[in-house]
Structure 1
């Protein structure tokens, strides 16, 4: 049957007309619209990844600096974790900065194997921070005395930084469980401040450009699926 035809029924001329929108064309447009949403998501994510990958050597702020930390003990530590498994193992480097509330405080920041950290802090009064929020830290306190040696003199750290005021350490991520510590550089008690943790994903810019390219390809395919049936339907209708 043609889109527009004339038939004779008992001597009367009757014209029948179709719109040109077949089930296949409708399906193609719907699939094309869905693919265009996927394409826009890929393009948006790719653009963001490419941008952040090109800024500040690819370091991404993990959003920890808004939380305040305080202890009247000799040290505060994190729970142990595996940085090599974070974000699917894409982290290459970590950058940790501790900024004391009192800029004149001598500060020490260190990362150590979890076992060696426990060895250094065994018998030392300190706290382990489990979680942080605007209301404060959720932490557990470990009783003990003073450190036997100032932290900088301990041979347990895979990365460390110390001095007066804000201190930043840089660590190339390695396999294994580690923990981080912040304390007074002279080993005295009491410390308050903010921690900024940044991670560098070396392949982030490349991932971003790859997502952008994939998004553009998918977008081109989605436009083809939409435009072609629309033109055919209009041509048949005309």
Structure 2
């Protein structure tokens, strides 16, 4: 209700509302805690959110590709393309809503909408102020060098730091170490909700502060602002913005500013022109760009393999084989080629070459034979089986026994064999179960050799060229699709 001055009263002097400087970081994260949360729904929210996770996986691919485009745009023009900015903010906003619902807070039971734009009545919001100008030089270092201290802090919040220290493997220790502060607090809140029906408000306020910190760093490292993220934990569902009133002092000279005030902010983005078709064009194009880079990397690896060929053979590094037994054989009846040729197409693999260089100078015997024949020959004979290779040293498993009845060269079952201080055999690869045997030529105990295996490959250069051409075509299609989506989503400039 308002009152008007009575007739005859002197007019009340009015003055314009002063414009005070607002100290606010350009990334605004707000959320409201649902007053009545289900006790047990949080147990399946992650399952219900799987469709969002699938969509976001493709959207984040587009986010990465567009961020690279924005990097070069900022480097050249000093501006972040507005259409790309709006889409990337939309992806971060979508991710925040899903995290608020299912993983990072559990602060609402309302299912997140499949939308990039802000949903005013949804309890979680994210806005990022669009920067009219950005530093061309700062874009080169802020996302890695300048942000490194924040990476350490965020690593503690998310568990990435502890996970890296524990080791990025599937061990239980690494999984538990990677929980992070945010996940731990969410679990505590979830257990409290399960047993009491109430979400602890203090944990909610802290979780919002932690997530706010993470998203400020994400926006900064994604090149969306030049303002360095503050090392400050702004807790609570709504940001408090400090408003300074110059000259507002009491008689003692102390400030009469009541402290932080909540400031309502307008949306930081222009009305989105991103339709489903345009977003789909960018997502598919980004996926094709990523696929083309993968194909190109594979082609370069194939080309490098071709350059590494030795007389047409792709040869593994030599390994030291040292055993006090009478023979050393490949593991479990398999012709173990190591990493050599394991990923090559069948049509490219030809002959196999095995070479053994004597360390002691004793003439060696190298042979390839059917596994059944090798087992019969070495039955009751002391020999060693190759179990594994560590760096350049073979790990062997010893089978006890006696000396062989005859030297290996006298046997007739070998498919290929060679003898000498530096023995090398070449064998035409064939189907079946085969075993490689390395012995002293006279069958005596004490085998000491440096062994290498190789496969003959053909057509690597041609294959690399075909893959590179295919990668170029896929890259071209991907760039066109991304460009169509970005250019058609640019906001129109209004002429005055």
TM-score normalised by length of structure 1: 0.78
Match of 2:416 in 1: 159
Which of 227, 230, 234 is the equivalent residue of 2:486? 230
Deviation at 1:45, TM superposition (A): 0.2
Residues 22, 116 of structure 1: CA spacing in aligned structure 2 closer, same or farther, 3 A cutoff?
same
Structure 1 residue 189 corresponds to structure 2 residue 439:
no
- Alignment of 1:49 with 2:302, yes or no, is yes
Q: Hey, what's the Cα distance between the residues in 2 that align with 1:73 and 1:83?
A: 20
**What is the correspondence of 1:114-193 to structure 2 with a 5 Å cutoff?**
114-133=371-390, 137-145=395-403, 147-164=404-421, 166-193=422-449
What's the offset of the Cα at 1:199?
A: 2.1
Deviation by residue 1:81-116 (Cα, 9 ceiling, x = unmatched): 2679965872322211112222x2211111111111
Equivalent residue number for residue 76 of structure 1: 328
Partner Cα distance (2:299, 2:455) in 1: 18
- Specify which structure has the higher proportion of helix: 2
Residue 149 of structure 1 deviates from its aligned partner by 2.7
Provide closer, same or farther for how the CA distance between residues 57 and 226 of structure 1 changes in structure 2, counting only shifts above 3 A: farther
Q: Which has the higher contact order (CA 8 A, sep 6+)?
A: 1
Indicate the residue corresponding to 1:22 in structure 2.
275
Match of 2:470 in 1: 214
- Extract unaligned runs of 5+ from structure 2: 1-269
Structure 1 residues 46-103: Cα deviation after superposition (integer angstroms, max 9, x where no partner): 122133235335533345x2x422111211111212679965872322211112222x
Task: Give the whole-Å Cα distance in 2 for the aligned partners of 1:232 and 1:205.
Answer: 41
Structure of higher CA gyration radius = 2
Whether the 8 Å CA contact 2:356–2:366 is kept in 1: the answer is yes
Say whether the 8 Å CA contact 2:273–2:489 is kept in structure 1: yes
Instruction: Determine helix, strand or coil for the equivalent of 2:485.
Output: helix
**Alignment counterpart, residue 100 of structure 1, candidates 349, 355, 358:** 358
The match for 1:201 is 457
- Secondary structure (helix, strand or coil) at the match of 1:36 reads helix
Aligned partners of 2:401 and 2:320: how far apart in 1?
A: 22
- Cα 1:95–1:237 shift into 2, 3 Å: farther
CA gap 1:51/1:129 in 2 versus in 1, 3 angstroms: closer
Other-structure match for 1:7:
none
Q: Secondary structure of 2:473's partner?
A: helix
Aligned-residue RMSD, C-alpha:
2.8
Contact 1:101–1:192 (CA<8 Å) still a contact in 2?
Answer: yes
* Aligned residues of 1:51 and 1:205 also touching (Cα < 8 A): no
Q: CA 1:83–1:77 in structure 2 vs 1: closer, same or farther (change >3 Å)?
A: closer
CA displacement at 1:207 relative to structure 2: 3.4
More strand by share: 1
Structure 1 runs not aligned, ≥5 long: 1-16
Q: Under a length normalisation based on structure 2, what TM-score does the superposition of the two structures give? A: 0.40
Query: CA–CA distance in 1 between the matches of 2:390 and 2:427?
Result: 25
Q: Distance in 2 between matches of 1:200 and 1:232?
A: 52
Provide the rounded CA distance (Å) in 1 between the counterparts of 2:275 and 2:345: 49
The answer to whether the Cα contact below 8 Å between 1:47 and 1:209 also exists between their aligned partners in 2 is no
Q: Say which SS state the counterpart of residue 56 (structure 1) adopts.
A: coil
Task: Indicate conservation of the 8 Å contact 2:288/2:475, yes or no.
Answer: yes
User: Matches of 1:118 and 1:89 in 2, distance apart?
Assistant: 31
**Does the C-alpha gap of structure 1 residues 120 and 225 become closer, same or farther in structure 2, counting only changes over 3 Å?**
same
